[in-house]
Amino acid sequence: MTFGKIILRNKCVVLGSPTTGKTALTQLFHSDGTQYAKTYAMTLHCDTSLKPITIPDTQFTVDLYIHDIGCSDLFAQDWVKYTEGATSYMIVYDVTNADSFKDVGKWMEIVSRGAQGVLVANKTDQTSRRVVSTAQGEELASRFGLGYFECSAATNTDVEAPFYYLASTFHQAFMDACQIFERGV
């Protein structure tokens, strides 16, 4: 058989304080920029969506099973259940909301160790209201060993980049794992 895509499956959980734009980012990415919720509706429990991402110049597709988790304290007892088995995660904060930035450490405690993560600074279009700088974001990301990304769901700017990064990192992890399996004795 010479045809066919090799499909890698990656469960990605999206965490971060309420109203930081997790659902807007997820829906915008999932719909290729066509769906943006104009009114706020709190995510209840967990919304899931599947997004296949083709890795350029390979025969691999990463199926990203995105779990957009309701991060209101109402659902705190279920967070461990929703994040179980995740192979990647995205922690979102709002650059106009210092508290959401302070909470990043709290979300780090929930994610499974060994998974790949990114820190996403959202709402960068709000330049005059911004209170968390790029340098602060980068510093925190490097302290936690996360990739750092800035974006704006409202203006659909750079929303895909963190998802592509997670897919690409997962593909690389698979290639590395295969090398270890080939050497195994």
Partner 1 sequence: MPAQENLALASAGAKISMATSWHLVHKAENTIDSNNKTFWVTTGLFPHELILTLPQVVTVRKIIITSMKVARWTVESSVAEKPQLFEPFTEQDVEDADQSIQTVTLLSSNPETLARHLRLIIAKGHAPFTSVHKVIVYGDPVSSAG
Q: What residues make contact with partner 1 under the rule CB under 8 A?
A: 1-2, 4, 6-11, 59, 63, 65, 85, 87, 114, 170, 173-174, 177-178, 180-185
**Residue number, 38 or 183, with CB nearest to partner 1:** 183
Query: What one-letter code names the amino acid at 115?
Result: A
Minimum separation from the CB atom of position 111 to partner 1 (A): 14
**Residue number, 89 or 101, with CB nearest to partner 1:** 89
Helix/strand/coil for 179: helix
**Residue number, 87 or 122, with CB nearest to partner 1:** 87
Minimum separation from the CB atom of position 184 to partner 1 (A): 5
**Residue number, 11 or 123, with CB nearest to partner 1:** 11
Q: Given strand 147-150, what is the order of strands in its sheet?
A: 46-54, 60-69, 6-15, 88-94, 116-122, 147-150
Cβ distance 113 to 86 under 8 Å?
Answer: no
Euclidean distance between CA atoms 13 and 26, whole angstroms: 10
Minimum separation from the CB atom of position 71 to partner 1 (A): 23
**Residue number, 24 or 69, with CB nearest to partner 1:** 69
**Type and span of the H or E element at 29:** helix 22-30
Count the Cβ atoms, other than its own, within 10 Å of residue 112: 16
Residue 136 β-bridge partners: none
Minimum separation from the CB atom of position 161 to partner 1 (A): 21
| Close Cβ partners of 73 (under 8 Å, ≥ 6 residues apart) | none
Minimum separation from the CB atom of position 173 to partner 1 (A): 6
| Close Cβ partners of 43 (under 8 Å, ≥ 6 residues apart) | 22, 23, 68, 69, 70, 71, 72
